[in-house]
Amino acid sequence: MNQWIAVGALGVVAVGIPLGMMAASSMLRPTVPEQGKSAIYESGEVPTGTARVQFNIQYYMVALLFVIFDVETVLIFPWTVIYRPALEEGVPLVTLLAPMLVFIGILVVGLVWAWRNGAVEWVASPRALKEKTES
Amino acid sequence: MKASWVLLQNGNATGNATNATAGGVARPPSAPLADSIAGMLGLDGVVGAIVGGLIGAFIIANVMMATTAVAGPWAKRKITAAFTDRIAVNRVGPFGLLIIVADAVRLLSKELIVPDGVDRPAWDIAPIVIPFSALLGFAVIPFGSGLQLADPETGLVFAFAAASIASLGVVMAGYASNNKYSLLGGLRAIASNIAYEIPLIVTAASVVIFAGTLQMSEIVAVQQQTLIEIGGVAIPQWFAFVNPFAFALFILANLAEIGRNPFDIPEAPTEIVAGFQTEYSSVYFVLLYLGEFIHIFLGGALAAALFLGGPSGPVLPGFVWFYIKMWAFFLFTQWARSAVPRLRVDQFLDAGWKGMLVLSFANLVLTAILVGVIV
């Protein structure tokens, strides 16, 4: 309990420092609004359209895969903590290791499946493939 | 959630007990910084915890801000200049060190340009979230010499959890900027963070298998034991010596996690201008930049605490050694920046999901078997 108060205090300080810098800057900096200054940067061209566009589905596939493996890492951590102490207390190795091997094995099978399905393969749009000049 | 919490705490309790009895760990009797400050002020209870915590947090945060201030405007330029045979900043102050002050004033007094069509609350909050996440991670880092703000039993997991909040800030910055480069940069940052986070954490889990605890002070203490003795010199049991393969994996995944070369695809100046920070100026840009640099040092601090024995080292006090190790990691990132070409985004994801992930799980299983055999 005591420990987490200190962690929370660092959280407060870590928000306070950026806010303080913003306040200091707002007192120092000039504000000269001007048309054209606020245009978004597009290599110096006049920007076209909005940035809320469709993007590569690859990012979605990878995020789905991540959720699975992240939950897995959360489940692995308690095991890693008790592993060595339990061994030192005389629990047989097989009892400790076999369930985790099965667990990781199932996930590896899942990864292989996703791999063969092309979930971790970079998806290039048909247009990009058509206009590709180098091999 | 509740069940796993209890499990973690129980596991930890047994871990501490067995370590203390079996290993004979020589652990310096140092309380966490917040507690010792409260003790010095003669406060106790909740008031002492809050006051001690705030003062300790202020010290830690300012040490890291000062480190970053030296690293960002000065050390980075000097290192890159040394690699490319230039001199870099040398006009203001000794070795050009006062350029830090000049740059801080210059950047803070720039006009804040708000581009058309930005998503306002998110665009403003992102520069707070990124340094916040990096600074929060330092709460559990054992700097040595009693400079550890808090030492909760789940410290290691907390450090990773705090460091990952940065992904949220990056996607906020990228998506709210109304800029195509920013959007791409934000998406790439997320893709890289999630691809390399799992190898990073699974490799750290292999250290936890050795140490049998998640408490940072205990992980550091386990590494003080002697591995082997060569000619009267005791080589300590740093996990980088025990398992160099895991160390290499961790450093690589760390480079990707903090977005440095050869994995700096979130920014990739030659491809997408500046990635998610394209539309930021003035103090917002400073905060994003600062957050990234604190992140590098957090990565270095984690590598030092997990693999390089934390604050241990001969002659010099612990804090100095920890600081040197953090700077060594920073130097390594800058070396990689100058020496290694950037991966293409598809190669990058391939390397993450098909290479690092498989290798890190192999490392975990092999470590578990190894520990099972030697214990």
Picking from B23, B57, B32, B7, the residue whose alpha carbon sits closest to that of residue B210 is B23
Burial of B340 (0-12, 13-18, 19+ CB in 10 A): middle
A21, A31, A84 ranked by CB distance to B283: nearest: A21
What DSSP line would sit under B216-246, residue for residue? HHHHHHHTTSEEEEETTEEEE--HHHH-HHH
Cβ of residue A109 closer than 8 Å to a chain B Cβ? no
The answer as to whether A135 is a domain residue is no
Alpha-carbon distance of B191 to B186, in angstroms, equals 9
pTM: 0.85
Is B131 in a helix, a strand, or coil?
Answer: helix
- Write the DSSP symbol of residue B269: H
Least CB–CB distance from B287: residue in A21, A93, A97: A21
In which domain, by residue range, is A107 found?
2-130
User: Number of folded domains in chain A?
Assistant: 1
Q: Which of B59, B39, B62 is nearest to B49 (CA)?
A: B39
Spatial CA neighbour of B107 closest among B292, B289, B295: B289
* CB < 8 Å to B210, chain A: 84
Closest CA to B157 of B316, B9, B333: B9
CA distance B313 to B305: 12
A36 touches chain B (CB under 8 A): no
Cβ contacts of A125-132, under 8 Å, gap ≥ 24: A125/A56
Give the residue among B269, B275, B284 at the shortest CA–CA distance from B123: B284
Helix (H) or strand (E) holding B40: helix B33-41
With a CB cutoff of 8 Å and minimum separation 6, the contacts of B219 are B156, B207, B208, B211, B213, B305, B306, B310
Tell me the C-alpha distance between B88 and A10, whole Å: 35
Contact (CB<8Å) A78/B180:
no
Does ipTM top 0.85?
no
Which chain B residues have a beta carbon less than 8 Å from that of A50?
117, 178
Domain membership of residue A113 (yes or no) is yes
CATH number of domain containing A100: 1.20.58.1610
In angstroms, the separation between the Cα of residue B170 and the nearest Cα of chain A is 15
Q: 3-state DSSP call for residue B24?
A: coil
- List chain B pLDDT tens, one digit each, 375 residues: 344 443 334 334 433 433 333 333 444 445 777 777 777 777 777 777 788 788 888 888 888 888 888 887 888 888 888 888 888 888 887 888 888 888 888 888 888 888 888 888 888 899 999 999 988 888 888 887 777 888 888 888 899 889 888 888 888 888 888 888 888 888 888 888 888 888 998 899 888 888 888 888 888 888 887 777 777 777 777 888 888 888 999 998 888 888 777 888 777 777 777 778 888 888 898 898 888 899 999 999 999 888 888 787 777 787 888 889 889 999 999 888 888 888 887 788 888 888 888 899 899 888 888 887 877
Task: Give A-chain residues touching B265 at CB under 8 angstroms.
Answer: none
As a whole number of Å, the end-to-end CA separation of chain B is 31
